[in-house]
Structure 1
Amino acid sequence: MERPGLKPRVVVIDDEEGIRRLFQRLLGKRYDLQTFERGLAALEDLQRTPADLVITDLKMPGIDGMEVLRRVKELDPDLPVIVLTAYGTVENAVEAMKKGAYDYITKPVQAEEMELVIEKALERRRLLLENRLLHRELQEKYSLGALIGKSPAMQQLFRLILTVAPTDATVLILGESGTGKELVAKAIYAHSLRKEKVFLSINCAAFPETLLESELFGYEKGAFTGASSTKKGLLEVADGGTLFLDEIGDMPLPLQSKVLRALESGEFLRLGGRTLMQVDVRVISSTNRPLKALMAEGKFREDLFYRLNTFTIELPPLRERREDIPLLAAHFLRQYATKAGKEIHGFTPETLEILLNYPWPGNVRQLEKAVERAVIMTRGELVEAHTLPAEVLQTAEKSLFKAEPLSFREARQRFERDYLITMLRRHRGNVTAAAEAAGIHRTHFYQKMRLYGISEAEYRNPDMMGEEEG
């Protein structure tokens, strides 16, 4: 396992001394490199000291590369293994990949190709470990019900919820659209003394005044045209439990006075009724509107406001708690990848950087939908940037020039990858046509695609191409 501040540990197994010396010369300064002549000795070492990457020759005396691969996967299924193979035995390397090898390198070893494949394998290892850590953190300390966050603002929110939940105080939840106000209401309910009773919710912005009134208070048979039978309202059904009034700021002014009376006395009349109904209901409300401004304009009752906000909780927008984005993204990725039956282990660094830097005007709800879309578009083990929605990518492109300059090598790799993708898009995934247009041999084009983890299948669907290009 990679250790913070320490070099990644790489184990190389090859019976040729020249190959071992080559790896030592090229990689010895960058990695904690250990070389072995025999597979058995390397496996014994791996049992004592975990590694981040194993590179093994396929053809060796004693235990061959296939057996090394099998035993390494038994030891650690997520430990990447790269196999070395002579050019004429590529078929064996492909068979090894089917059995779990991360990639292969052909002999004679080309330094640039080797370094790039190793970097990608170690990056994948790091992402897998990070994703596992995020999931463990979510389970252990960074979640409360469906709420997720390790930022100081979210940790304070968790404390407020746990403080007010066991009481019967009315709670007013304030926050922008998509910040998770209903999740907060449900978390309060789940930790309350009323958790064994019913939890009901209604969106006050979704109903016209007369219909909202009948939903809340119910009605007697014959109260109005179409009232063919008596119906209990939500206040009555929620007796003993919790009622969540979502978007209370959109409640019509005439109805507010009736709600106030019900909250203060616990009594109300059904529409068309003459018998006072008595209920014991805890009310939690929320809004994304500025209630104090509405009060100043005469659009929201001041007495109702003070009745509702015995305890106020304000939810921060996602842009003010960016440190929570990796946790949230990992949670949504696991949720939607499982639902889709896909093995997706994390996000590429570029994708995660874009997610971190986007302002998320739609907050957590928008992030969730962006990750859901990315899962649908992803065909490999990692979510790549091009699977994100167009508005997210466009913002990332605008901020590209403000970013720290890349090294020459990083810039060249990014250019090569983008160039290959552009040619594949232009020729609808036809590698032969793309290579011909690029002026390079088809085999070389395929090699570059493999190095950068590009699949031509992603660019064969014209509808998908149009969607990606926004």
Structure 2
Amino acid sequence: MARQRAKSAELARLFNSIDRPVYVLDEELVIRFLNEPCREWLGEAAESVVGQRCTYRTSPAGDESRSRPLAEALCPPPSVLSGQVATGIVVAPDGHGGWRRRLARFIPIGPCGEAMPAVVTLVEPGDLSPTDEPLAETRPHGLEPAEPTSDELHERIRRFRRQAAGRYRIDRLLGDSPAMRLARARAELAAAGRANVLVVGPVGSGRRHTAHGIHYASDPPREGTLIPVDCAVLGVELIRSTVHALASNPLGTRAARSTLLLTDVDCLPGEVHSDVAAAISAKSFRLRVVATAAEPLIQLAARGGFSRALAALLSPIVIELPPLADRREDIPLLAQLFLEEINAESTKQRGGFSADALDRLDAYHWPGNLDELALVVAQACEKAEGAEVQAADLPSRLRHAAEAAAHPRREEPSIQLDEFLGRIERELIERALAQAKGNKTKAAVLLGLTRPRLYRRLVQLGLDDGEDY
């Protein structure tokens, strides 16, 4: 024991002699040691992270003040657990509510192929600028992969959440597709004001999550109340009594910061449309209304399926969430986001997805949208044995869908029975007439028909030449 303490003290002296930040994690990714330059870099937060376990995820915006998210910001990629040296970005508070990014090198310590007793992290001395992309620079020169690496996706999620801090916390609006850029802009507009908002999208696209995010993004978010009303489940009388009660302003001054959430408002019974419109139009009604629907209410009203007045009241700001299949370029980022959320609750840490796994995710049609993607990632992480999720770890239905797309079923030509029989009948009559040398009486005998019946069929088939011999 004394020898072990002496060895630890010697290592501490060695690491403290290094002029750049160094920290050490044990085999369970618990932070065990910070050298003096690292303590200076982390500042007041240094003591709080010692003894904290790292998980490979990015913290939601606004959560970074806690010690656990700071430990997450110092976590190495899970590939280190398999003995690989890795490069990544780590962050530390700058003392002014912001963050300082630096490039770090994670070095596993231990015999190759054996249990890893520790990870030594060497942090570069210079801070990165907000526009620096150092992970892209670590690729071999001239090689540009078709997909970003897991570490780059991890950093993009972190940057997205950092930029979203102080505005809104809507993780599932993550994405670079034009539709999601527009959705984010409108969500920011909604979060900054008190106008009514309609969130539109297919089932599983994150409508309810987005609606909650808009409410909780309000400043200050915790002083207002969120009042959910499920229009697809609650009866007419309960909905009517709820909105009338809210119109009487029972929340007092808190009403100006509170939100009425009408989920599945397109399923609202028609007989209560006028009651809801009257209630939210009343001067005494001070709540902001956020509603969710499968399609824009103005379009539904144009077809006679919704009150035009209520549709107008609920639609000052419309946020449209597209199906996941229409924004496939966002799938790698979203899959990485869900994977890192699982990392936060699991002892098993996954770094990302293999190229084959990402290809399979991209090829799937995603009828369940984001909810289905989150479930698929959870199932794959549970099955995966390595630091990276492989295509074989994904549910079998994705493989079956890929195989079906690669070998589409050949369309069998349909047979029109009447048309087919008509062609045969015509051919038989023409043969009989040719054999009878145009004598219709003989042709009728050859066909087993009466002469009048043959005449009728000749007229119907356009074969009657008017001659009768």
Specify which of 324, 337, 344 is matched with residue 338 of structure 1: 344
Compare CA radii of gyration and give the structure with the larger one. 2
* Structure 1 SS opposite 2:192: coil
Q: Is 1:179 matched with 2:205?
A: yes
Shift in Å, 1:136: 3.1
Shift in Å, 1:353: 1.0
Shift of the 158–235 alpha-carbon distance from structure 1 to 2, 3 Å rule, reads: farther
Q: Distance in 1 between matches of 2:83 and 2:306?
A: 69
* Structure 2 SS opposite 1:206: coil
- The one-letter amino acid of 1:380's match is G
Q: Is 1:146 matched with 2:170?
A: yes
Given that residues 266 and 297 in structure 2 are in contact (C-alpha distance below 8 angstroms), is that contact kept between their aligned partners in structure 1?
A: yes
Q: Is 1:355 matched with 2:361?
A: yes
Q: Is 1:133 matched with 2:139?
A: no
**Bigger shift: residues 248-257 or 189-198:** 189-198
Shift in Å, 1:371: 0.9
Specify which of 220, 225, 229 is matched with residue 202 of structure 1: 229
Q: Is 1:246 matched with 2:263?
A: yes
Shift in Å, 1:374: 1.4
Identity %: 29
Q: Distance in 1 between matches of 2:150 and 2:276?
A: 52
Shift in Å, 1:257: 0.8
Shift in Å, 1:142: 7.5
Q: Distance in 2 between matches of 1:71 and 1:172?
A: 48
Shift in Å, 1:260: 0.5
TM-score by length of 2: 0.52
Q: Which residue of 1 aligns with 2:276?
A: 259
Shift of the 128–217 alpha-carbon distance from structure 1 to 2, 3 Å rule, reads: same
Q: Is 1:288 matched with 2:312?
A: no
Q: 1:224-243, aligned counterparts within 5 Å? A: 236-237=250-251, 239-240=255-256, 241-243=258-260
**Bigger shift: residues 312-321 or 162-171:** 162-171
**What is the CA RMSD across the aligned residues, in angstroms?**
3.8
- The one-letter amino acid of 1:250's match is C
Given that residues 214 and 233 in structure 1 are in contact (C-alpha distance below 8 angstroms), is that contact kept between their aligned partners in structure 2?
A: no
Q: Distance in 1 between matches of 2:332 and 2:307?
A: 41
| Greater RCO (CA < 8 Å, at least 6 residues apart) | 2
Shift of the 397–134 alpha-carbon distance from structure 1 to 2, 3 Å rule, reads: farther
Q: Which residue of 2 aligns with 1:304?
A: 310
1:40-76 per-position Cα deviation (integer Å, ceiling 9, x unaligned): xxxxxxx9xxxxxxxxxxxxxxxxxxxxx99979997
Shift in Å, 1:139: 3.1
Shift in Å, 1:206: 2.0
Q: Distance in 2 between matches of 1:347 and 1:291?
A: 39
Shift in Å, 1:236: 4.1
Shift in Å, 1:158: 1.7
Shift of the 135–184 alpha-carbon distance from structure 1 to 2, 3 Å rule, reads: closer
Q: Distance in 2 between matches of 1:282 and 1:398?
A: 47
1:199-236 per-position Cα deviation (integer Å, ceiling 9, x unaligned): 22222112232333344445xxxxxxxxxxxxx89974
Shift in Å, 1:395: 1.1
Q: Distance in 2 between matches of 1:348 and 1:206?
A: 42
Q: Is 1:166 matched with 2:192?
A: yes
* Structure 2 SS opposite 1:172: strand
**Bigger shift: residues 248-257 or 382-391:** 382-391
Shift in Å, 1:383: 1.2
Shift of the 77–286 alpha-carbon distance from structure 1 to 2, 3 Å rule, reads: same
Q: Which residue of 1 aligns with 2:379?
A: 373
Q: Distance in 1 between matches of 2:334 and 2:85?
A: 32
Shift in Å, 1:182: 2.3
Q: Distance in 1 between matches of 2:112 and 2:275?
A: 75
Q: Is 1:329 matched with 2:353?
A: no
In the alignment, structure 1 segments of 5+ residues that lack a partner are 1-46, 48-68, 84-91, 102-122, 219-231, 267-277, 403-470
Q: Which residue of 2 aligns with 1:320?
A: 326
Q: Distance in 2 between matches of 1:382 and 1:70?
A: 14
Q: Distance in 2 between matches of 1:365 and 1:320?
A: 15
Specify which of 388, 393, 396 is matched with residue 390 of structure 1: 396
Given that residues 247 and 285 in structure 2 are in contact (C-alpha distance below 8 angstroms), is that contact kept between their aligned partners in structure 1?
A: no
1:237-257 per-position Cα deviation (integer Å, ceiling 9, x unaligned): 572211111111100011111
1:93-129 per-position Cα deviation (integer Å, ceiling 9, x unaligned): 543x65589xxxxxxxxxxxxxxxxxxxxx9xx9553
1:159-194 per-position Cα deviation (integer Å, ceiling 9, x unaligned): 222224333322222211122222332333344457
In the alignment, structure 2 segments of 5+ residues that lack a partner are 1-18, 20-81, 88-102, 120-144, 409-469
Given that residues 138 and 327 in structure 1 are in contact (C-alpha distance below 8 angstroms), is that contact kept between their aligned partners in structure 2?
A: no
Q: Distance in 2 between matches of 1:293 and 1:216?
A: 24
- The one-letter amino acid of 1:139's match is R
Given that residues 134 and 330 in structure 1 are in contact (C-alpha distance below 8 angstroms), is that contact kept between their aligned partners in structure 2?
A: no
Q: Distance in 1 between matches of 2:84 and 2:333?
A: 33
Shift in Å, 1:377: 1.8
Q: Which residue of 1 aligns with 2:437?
A: none
Shift of the 344–283 alpha-carbon distance from structure 1 to 2, 3 Å rule, reads: same
Given that residues 108 and 116 in structure 2 are in contact (C-alpha distance below 8 angstroms), is that contact kept between their aligned partners in structure 1?
A: no
Specify which of 225, 235, 239 is matched with residue 212 of structure 1: 239
Shift of the 395–234 alpha-carbon distance from structure 1 to 2, 3 Å rule, reads: farther
**Bigger shift: residues 289-298 or 393-402:** 289-298
Q: Distance in 2 between matches of 1:235 and 1:369?
A: 41
Given that residues 354 and 390 in structure 2 are in contact (C-alpha distance below 8 angstroms), is that contact kept between their aligned partners in structure 1?
A: yes
- The one-letter amino acid of 1:163's match is L
- The one-letter amino acid of 2:160's match is L
TM-score by length of 1: 0.51
Q: Which residue of 2 aligns with 1:410?
A: none
Q: Distance in 2 between matches of 1:261 and 1:173?
A: 21
